[in-house]
Structure 1
Amino acid sequence: MEHGNFKSIYAWSSVVASLFYCYFIPARIPKGFLRLVSLLPVFCHFTVLPMYMPSIFFRGVSTLFITWLANSKLLLFAFGQGPLAWAQSQSLHIFIASAALPIRAKRADDSNPSSSKKKVPFLNLGTEILALSVLLALAAKYRETAHPLVLQADYCCVIFLLVDVLVAFSSSVVRAMVGLELEPPSNAPYASTSLQDFWGKRWNLTVTNTLRLSVYKPVRSVSAGVVGNRWAALPAFFATFLVSGLMHELIYYYVSRAKPSWEVTWFFILHGICVMIELVIKRGLKGKREMPWFISGPLTMGFVIITSFWLFFPPLMKSGADEMVLEEFRSLCESWKGRLGTLSPNILSPNLS
Structure 2
Amino acid sequence: MAGAAAFMDGELGTLVKASAAVWAAMAYARMAAADIRPGSGRLLALLPVVVLFYGIPFAFSSTTFRGSSAFFLCWLGTFKLLLLAAGRGPLADPSLPLLHFACSAALPVKLRQPPPKSKLKQDPPSAPAAAYKILVSGAVIPLIIYGYQFKDSMSHWQLLAMYAAHIYFSLELLLAAVRILIHGALGMEMEPQVDRPYLASSLRDFWGRRWNLMVPAILRPSVYNPVRACFGDAAGVMVSFLVSGLMHEVIFYYIMWRPPSGDVTGFFVLHGVCTAAEAWWGRQAGWWRPPRALAVPLTLAFVGGTGFWLFFPAMINGGLDELVMQECQGLLVLMEQAGRRLAGAGAK
Q: TM-score, normalised by structure 2?
A: 0.90
| Alignment partners' CA distance in 2, 1:274 and 1:36 | 34
For the 8 Å contact 1:267–1:311, the answer to whether it is kept is yes
What amino acid is the match of 2:150?
Y
Say whether residues 1:211 and 2:219 are aligned partners: yes
1:146 offset after TM fit, Å? 1.9
2:88 is aligned with 1:93:
no
**Cross-structure match for 1:327:** 326
More moved, 243-252 vs 210-219: 210-219
Contact 1:168 1:184 in 2 (8 A): no
**Residue 103 of structure 1 contacts residue 206 of structure 1 at CA under 8 Å; is this kept in 2?**
yes
Q: 1:10-45 CA distances to partner (integer Å, 9 max, x unpaired)?
A: 233222221121122333221222111100111111
Give the 5 Å matches for 1:2-13. Answer: 3-13=10-20
Following the alignment from structure 1 to structure 2, what is the Cα–Cα distance between the partners of residues 48 and 12?
13
1:296 paired residue number: 295
Who is 2:137 aligned against?
Answer: 128
- Matched residues in 2 for 1:144 and 1:28: separation? 59
Partner in structure 2 of residue 186 of structure 1 = 194
Residue of structure 2 equivalent to 1:72:
79
CA drift of 1:108 comes to 9.5
User: Displacement of 1:117 after TM fit?
Assistant: 9.4
The runs of 4+ residues in structure 1 deviating greater than 4 Å are: 2-5, 116-119
User: What is aligned with 1:195?
Assistant: 203
Give CA-to-partner distance per residue, 1:43-102, whole Å, 9 cap, x none: 11112221111111111001100100000111111111111113x412111111111111
Q: For 1:212 and 1:347, locate their aligned partners in 2 and report how far apart those are by CA, in whole Å.
A: 53
Aligned-partner Cα distance in 2 for 1:27–1:138? 52
1:229 maps to which residue?
none
Q: Structure 1: state its 5+ residue gaps.
A: 110-115, 224-231
Rate the CA distance shift 1:333–1:246 in 2: closer, same or farther, 3 A. same
How far apart, CA to CA, are the structure 2 residues paired with 1:256 and 1:204?
22
Identity level (%): 35
- Scaled by the length of structure 1, the TM-score of the pair is 0.89
Which residue of the other structure, out of 35, 40, 47, is the alignment partner of 2:47?
40
* One-letter amino acid matched to 2:270: L
SS for the counterpart of 1:152 is helix
Distance 2:236 2:113 in 1: 25
Q: Secondary structure at the match of 1:84?
A: coil
> Is the 2:256–2:319 contact (alpha carbons within 8 Å) kept by the matching residues of 1?
yes
Structure 2 Cα separation of the partners of residues 274 and 213 of structure 1: 21
SS in 2 for 1:60: helix
Q: Residues of 2 paired with 1:246 and 1:278: CA distance?
A: 22
Q: Distance in 2 between matches of 1:61 and 1:168?
A: 14
Structure 1: distance between partners of 2:64 and 2:323: 9
